[in-house]
Structure 1
């Protein structure tokens, strides 16, 4: 793989539809353009049906070595993090003339910036869902020593998903092109150089103090995004960059409650602290911000749930490793009894199982008397049953096990208690069971069938009968239909998701299929088609045919 060591000119011929890169990727349409490059939709030639997004640097001026290194580092960072809420980078290579390009997963959905332009203010539950997923991605990046430095709604992408019949969204964090590696020495950024988008810069970043940029800088931009999702406008705005920077450094944004009066007080307080002017006044990390904002902590693979800590497990750390202090109250006590004043912590050397075996065990009681008693009881039971079956034999009045012997006068011994099994009073006439116990119980009166579940005696609903659903669900589906008629698919999806949180209905899947048909999303349309009721299918099939989608 060629690594540029000196300024490289942009590609001599522009990428056009049908051009094949490295005998693998066939270029399709343009997905977006920027000042430094463009993103194309491409087709993988060796994997039929697989589509990817290819980001290529371009420009009239020569590409400096620093720009090329930053571009390559973006691919390395995204691949290194490997988080489900960070866009996946599949490949990195160069064109024949040395121009670098990056191959990424192709995302279907819309950017958060576009969502905010259409809806302005987002509902609180939707804000929490987006915020928690962004927080999970940022927490993974910060723990890997990566600071994004360019957080903004344009770098947050929303991908529609479905799990268990409920439609949701997965957040994907994009563009780590100017990210800062805390331990990196590949690119030295000078102070007094603005790196990022001014509208979402932290004060230290806006003043060009790049050496002071850390995870708390991302936290400030994160707070600005959450503010905008609730208020419907960015916290800072100006006619030029100088005015914008002055506001960020010296002024406070408009009070959030004046723009979103229904915002809970704890949410306002959390956003205000995340956007503090001084880094030391902000939250120490993203996880603390999410906990204060939403009321529940982020769950990561590295965290251990409390119930898992209390289970006795084999230690995976070396024997000499110090034990965390929060594990002292969860020491396994299998086979041990607590002793006052005893140190229950394991010794500094040797596995923990050895220290358990070394503890004294309580003396075990012999079990043979119990076994003898059980055996004799079985023999007595067989004997009694034998006498009962013989009508000509009168059973003894009592069967005595281990009868006490007459003690000698000189050596008085207390005899053990005798086990006596007495026969029933009337042997020849066994006791008949009570009639009410042998008769079958009366069957319970059948319950009235519900309107949602069919029964064997229930008559089938006539074709075209409206589906039963709560009024709130019906209102959401009516609103979704109106939004779909107005070609506002994002609004339609929002109402459908909200209806499915209350009740999953066949009509919701009928609307979902039509939404995806209008978006020309064949894969998702066919996925929803399997759950569309038979009564709705002719209408849905006719609707999708106008978008060249055959179901």
Structure 2
């Protein structure tokens, strides 16, 4: 019982310095309602890994354990440069765990909170890498269902032409797994409601186009500084995803070409049949729409020059700066 308390209580974890399944835990680097992630040392191969420990109540559910094993293996089988490699997944002493590559850098959530909206060129580079990862997963029959900035990791790239390298993570704990266990309350079955597709809300079957919707919400936020729908409570937000049209991106980013607005309208269509068939198709359409940048002739060209300083495009973020700090 003390182990369960230390895993998910607000107090400093008692696991720091301890070993779990051949990994020595060094530092907590993230947590959510269903899992805690640590930086850990693989004592067998002498390498640093990210070790995700799932909530103890999930390990006690036989349906979830089976689904977790199946989906972790499916995710581990995907060899893609923009998907965080999974080294191992298993159970030890009643604790489910996933060992993954440790990515030095930050997640997109922290970067957006720190930097605000990103320049269009940076946003498109990031989006293209995430899109290729999602499409690769879809080709393997895996739907992510929880695409959000916190599941997108950004590290330093190889050169000035590729200043950032982006990874998509969290395939081993999909929302379908949780729905089979009863962990489906609002805030759990979809994580953050800002990126949930209408068919997920209504309980209809989902496929890759569900990720197209969630991914488009993320890209919208990367450019606008906020997700497409903002409401005062969860029920109003769920309603907006199902029935309201997204506001034009150019209302928040007048420096982006207005041709981007119909691209987002299509990617965020309420019916999956009306969306782009793949994430890369969406990015290609967005790149074509924003090529050249700036407002269309006769459409508020002077607004760009009158932008307040905080709305002007910023230089590329400092990707490799870690956002995690030592906990007391």
| TM value normalised by structure 2 | 0.78
Corresponding residue number in structure 2 for 1:288:
281
Q: Report the 3-state secondary structure (helix = DSSP H, G, I; strand = E; otherwise coil) of the residue aligned with 1:265.
A: coil
Contact 2:39 2:48 in 1 (8 A): yes
* Higher RCO (CA-CA < 8 Å; seq separation 6+): 2
Contact 1:146 1:180 in 2 (8 A): no
Q: Say whether 1:206 aligns with 2:204.
A: no
2:95 aligned residue (95, 99, 123): 99
Change (3 A) 1:171 1:274: same
Q: Say whether 1:149 aligns with 2:145.
A: yes
> Aligned-pair distance for 1:180?
5.4
Structural mapping, 1:523-534, within 5 Å:
none
Corresponding residue number in structure 2 for 1:27:
25
Corresponding residue number in structure 2 for 1:111:
107
Change (3 A) 1:179 1:12: closer
Corresponding residue number in structure 1 for 2:272:
279
> Aligned-pair distance for 1:188?
5.6
Distance in 1, matches of 2:211 and 2:57, equals 32
Structural mapping, 1:299-314, within 5 Å:
none
Distance in 2, matches of 1:188 and 1:13, equals 26
> Aligned-pair distance for 1:157?
0.9
Distance in 1, matches of 2:286 and 2:127, equals 9
2:249 aligned residue (232, 250, 256): 256
- Segments of structure 1 that go 5 or more residues without pairing to the other structure are 1-7, 297-490, 498-514, 521-551
Q: Say whether 1:79 aligns with 2:106.
A: no
Q: Say whether 1:219 aligns with 2:212.
A: yes
> Aligned-pair distance for 1:103?
0.8
> Aligned-pair distance for 1:274?
0.2
Change (3 A) 1:106 1:224: same
**Aligned CA-pair RMSD:** 3.2
Corresponding residue number in structure 1 for 2:10:
none
> Aligned-pair distance for 1:225?
1.0
Distance in 1, matches of 2:222 and 2:240, equals 20
> Aligned-pair distance for 1:43?
1.2
1:178-209, Cα deviation, whole Å (9 max, x unpaired): 1659xxxx98689x976313211111112222
Change (3 A) 1:239 1:72: farther
- Segments of structure 2 that go 5 or more residues without pairing to the other structure are 8-13, 290-313
Distance in 1, matches of 2:237 and 2:225, equals 18
1:230 aligned residue (202, 206, 223): 223
> What number of residue pairs does the alignment pair up?
289
> Aligned-pair distance for 1:279?
1.4
Q: Report the 3-state secondary structure (helix = DSSP H, G, I; strand = E; otherwise coil) of the residue aligned with 2:75.
A: helix
Corresponding residue number in structure 2 for 1:365:
none
Distance in 1, matches of 2:15 and 2:176, equals 33
Corresponding residue number in structure 2 for 1:347:
none
Contact 1:37 1:59 in 2 (8 A): no
Corresponding residue number in structure 2 for 1:310:
none
> Aligned-pair distance for 1:135?
0.8
Change (3 A) 1:139 1:66: same
Corresponding residue number in structure 1 for 2:311:
none
Q: Say whether 1:42 aligns with 2:50.
A: no
Distance in 2, matches of 1:130 and 1:103, equals 25
Distance in 2, matches of 1:189 and 1:26, equals 30
Contact 2:246 2:268 in 1 (8 A): no
Distance in 2, matches of 1:36 and 1:189, equals 12
> Aligned-pair distance for 1:65?
2.0
Contact 2:156 2:165 in 1 (8 A): yes
1:351-395, Cα deviation, whole Å (9 max, x unpaired): xxxxxxxxxxxxxxxxxxxxxxxxxxxxxxxxxxxxxxxxxxxxx
1:465-484, Cα deviation, whole Å (9 max, x unpaired): xxxxxxxxxxxxxxxxxxxx
Q: Report the 3-state secondary structure (helix = DSSP H, G, I; strand = E; otherwise coil) of the residue aligned with 2:126.
A: helix
Distance in 2, matches of 1:38 and 1:260, equals 36
Distance in 2, matches of 1:189 and 1:35, equals 15
Contact 1:42 1:51 in 2 (8 A): yes
More strand by share: 2
Distance in 1, matches of 2:85 and 2:287, equals 27
Corresponding residue number in structure 2 for 1:382:
none
Q: Report the 3-state secondary structure (helix = DSSP H, G, I; strand = E; otherwise coil) of the residue aligned with 2:29.
A: strand
Change (3 A) 1:121 1:492: closer
Structural mapping, 1:76-475, within 5 Å:
76-95=73-92, 97-163=93-159, 168-176=163-171, 177-178=173-174, 195-196=189-190, 197-209=192-204, 211=205, 213-295=206-288
